[in-house]
Structure formats: C-alpha cells, structure tokens
Structure 1
Amino acid sequence: MFFLVKVVVSGLMIALASSVAKRFPAAGALIASLPLVSIFGMTWLWQETHDPARMQTHVSATFWYVLPSLPMFLFIPWLMKHGTPFYAALLGGCLLTFLLYCGTTAVLRHLGYTI
C-alpha cells in the first residue's frame, strides 16, 4: 500500500510541473527544479527504515550526484539552439550526465570517498 502512495504522490508532482509549464514555463521550471525527488526519496527511505546511517549516506551521495547533473540543463538548450532535435539533445544531455557521474565517482574514489 505504501508503494502505491509513493507512486501516486510522486507522479502527481511530475504531472503538476508539466501541466503548469504548458501555461507558465518559468513556473513549471521552478516546480521541476525543486529537489522534490530528493525530498520524496528521503521521506520514503526514512518511513521505511528509520535508519540515520543509511539516510546520511543517501543524502551525502545525492549531493555528489546532483553536481554532475547540473551541466545537462545548460547543454540541452545549447544543443537545441544549434539545431539538434529535442530527443537527440535529451539523449546528449543524458550521456553527458552519465559521463560526468562516472568522472565524479572516479575522482571521489581517488580522494578516498566512496558513494
């Protein structure tokens, strides 16, 4: 039952962001930019585990994974501005993010920090 609650609440937030964006693109972007997935993820994890150590690990790892995802939000519009179709630009943004995730993980591992 809790799984269905998670699915419905999470899905409603995505639907809200996209619906608002149709009429007010900046407002939709604001909703989408809120760390709702992270907040929901933390809330759901806490409800299911009540494990402070697991939460600390999760939140720290989330921080390190957010950083390499940010360039995607500049790269996709740049690609589209230069004529790349949306889905190709989205794929390019996802590939860039994946490469940056790998690089971030490698750098952090080299520095002795594992995520």
Structure 2
Amino acid sequence: MIEQLAKVALTSVLVVAASEAAKRNIVLGATLASLPLTSLLAMIWLYADTRDTEKVAALANGIFWLILPSLTLLLVLPLLLRRGIAFVPSVAISIAVTTASYLAMRALLKWFNIQA
C-alpha cells in the first residue's frame, strides 16, 4: 500500500510541476508536459513490480502506437479555443475526437495484426 501511495505522490508531483511551470513560462510548462514522464514512470513501476522486460517492451510498443491518436487532442483543442468555443465544450469535443481516433487506431492496428 505504501508503494502505491509513493507512486501516486511522485506522479502527481510531476503533473503539478508541469502545471505550475506553465503559469510562469509556457515553453517550460509545455516542455515538461511533453516529456514522456507518465510513460516512463509506468514502465519503471511495471518493471519494479514484475521484473518482466517483455511486459515493459510490450507496454512501450503499445504506448508508441497510441501516442499517434492522442495527438488529435492537442490539435483539436487549441483550434476550438481559438475559434471562440468555451473551454469546457472544447475539451469535451476534443476528448470525443481523441476517443474516435483511439478506436480508429485500434481497428487499424488490428487490421494490420499489430499488437498494441
């Protein structure tokens, strides 16, 4: 239980650090947020818990393929906000588009028989 709390605490600190940095410097905040820290932490925690490098490799492979559809959120959200759509509807629409992109990517990967 303490190990899980430590994982949550460290991960939370990184998210808050990126958010706080963005208040002061957009480039620094964007740089911190763009780093694959969550992915790296997930791989570290998985390896620490299982010592299974094949699982870590499979996770890294899945993350690679699923980063592509996640980028749609980063394209759609600023587009909607700059067109004057309020924040909450913009986020909701962006999440819907991203979800559709994930589903499309999963179908595409399945069609090409790629494990992700």
TM-score exceeds 0.5: yes
CA distance in 2, matches of 1:55, 1:3: 18
Alignment of 1:64-79 (within 5 A): 64-79=65-80
Q: Is the 8 A contact 1:20 1:27 kept in 2?
A: yes
Runs of at least 4 residues off by over 4 Å: none
Match of 1:97 in 2: 98
* Matched residues, number: 115
Match of 1:58 in 2: 59
Deviation at 1:3, TM superposition (A): 0.4
Match of 2:86 in 1: 85
CA distance in 2, matches of 1:46, 1:114: 20
User: Structure 2 unaligned runs (5+)?
Assistant: none
Q: Is the 8 A contact 1:17 1:29 kept in 2?
A: yes
Aligned-partner residue type, residue 73 of structure 1:
L
CA distance in 2, matches of 1:93, 1:40: 25
Identity %: 31
CA distance in 2, matches of 1:7, 1:105: 28
Deviation at 1:9, TM superposition (A): 0.4
Aligned-partner residue type, residue 16 of structure 1:
A
Deviation at 1:91, TM superposition (A): 1.2
Deviation at 1:44, TM superposition (A): 0.5
CA distance in 2, matches of 1:112, 1:28: 37
TM-score, length-scaled by structure 1: 0.96
Instruction: Tell whether 2:37 aligns with 1:36.
Output: yes
SS in 2 for 1:83: coil
Superposition RMSD in Å = 0.9
Deviation at 1:114, TM superposition (A): 3.0
Instruction: Tell whether 2:6 aligns with 1:9.
Output: no
The superposition leaves residues 10-66 of structure 1 with CA deviations (integer Å, 9 ceiling, x where unpaired) of 000011011111111121111011111001100111100011121111110010110
